[in-house]
Homo-oligomer: A and B are copies of this chain.
Amino acid sequence: MLINGQPGTQISASDRGLAYGDGLYRTLEARHGTPLLWHWQWQRLAADCAALRLPCPDEVLLLSEIATVAANLERAVIKIVLTRGAGQRGYAMPAACTPTRIVSASAWGGYPPDRAADGIVARWCDTRLAIQPRLAGIKHLNRLENVLARSEWHDPAIAEGLMLDMDGTVVEGTMSNLFLVQGGELLTPLLDRCGVSGAMRACVIDTAVNLGLTVRELRLSPPQVLAAEEVFLCNSLAGIWPLRELGSQQWQPGALTRRLQQLL
């Protein structure tokens, strides 16, 4: 782990990342020190920094830190955390912000391969996502809703929970983004009111557009999800997981899901 470029494992207990969740993060995979999906990870990281008015670290610096922490790992999970740094008491952003930058790596064997191959079982979460356009899409450090949603089940056979917003619109999984295939189009929830705009989501959209597919971001209801021809979930570590079962509905991994899996 590197903290502001120095080897370390601890941060100041006065850091605003702890005090207020005033910061953001990304989780990604690296192979022999090279991050996967970096184009999209970097795009999202820079966009999130701008949205939170957080100074964005230099891209070359970040890549070199990832290479350092993951150097001896064939396959690693990289976590990047950026915060507004230590500060005086109080919500006001410090005039001169000294951000905290944490880059860490841990060895990783990947998720069980049957999830991508055969698909996963998901459930509906009772915990709803609050509607907050100012924070929508950002992978910020205010994640109590996800923690509460993930605490709703312990059955290891259920790989993911789907979350609705306060209006009952389907938004995402607790740790993944959602896509449907319907009438030859790729549909995914619009993340303008809540949810996390993941790097893999952006990559899937770009890949589908390059295939000539129509991709639409829109508000989706639970019945629309259940009626879809194909459903899959994705994130940077999981890749694409076909949805095999949700409530009483069952699916076989579909042709477009398979094609996107092959391309990514």
Contacts and interface: CB of A to CB of B under 8 A. Distances in A.
B79 A20 contact: no
A25 interface: yes
B147 A20 contact: yes
A53 B90 CA distance: 26
A12 B13 contact: no
A148 interface: yes
A73 interface: no
Interface string A25-38: 10100000000000
Interface of A: 1, 3, 8-22, 25, 27, 52-53, 77, 79, 81, 83, 89-93, 102, 104, 106, 127-128, 130-132, 134-135, 140-151, 166, 174-175, 194
22 contacts: A8-B13, A9-B14, A10-B10, A11-B11, A13-B81, A15-B18, A16-B147, A18-B141, A19-B143, A20-B142, A21-B141, A22-B144, A52-B144, A53-B151, A79-B89, A90-B175, A91-B143, A91-B174, A130-B131, A135-B144, A142-B142, A142-B143
Nearest to A88: B106
Contacts of A174: 91
A140 B22 CA distance: 13
Contacts of A131: 130-131, 166
Contacts of A148: 134
Given A20-B143, A52-B144, A91-B175, 5 more contacts: A14-B104, A93-B147, A131-B131, A134-B145, A142-B142
Given A91-B150, A151-B53, A18 B11 contact: yes
Contacts of A90: 150, 175
Most chain B beta-carbon neighbours within 10 Å: one of A13, A27, A93, A140 = A13
Contacts of A12: 9-10
B143 A22 contact: yes
Most chain B beta-carbon neighbours within 10 Å: one of A12, A127, A130, A142 = A130
Contacts of A20: 21, 141-144, 146-147
A197 to B, nearest CB: 16
B91 A21 contact: no
Most chain B beta-carbon neighbours within 10 Å: one of A27, A142, A146, A150 = A142
Nearest to A95: B154
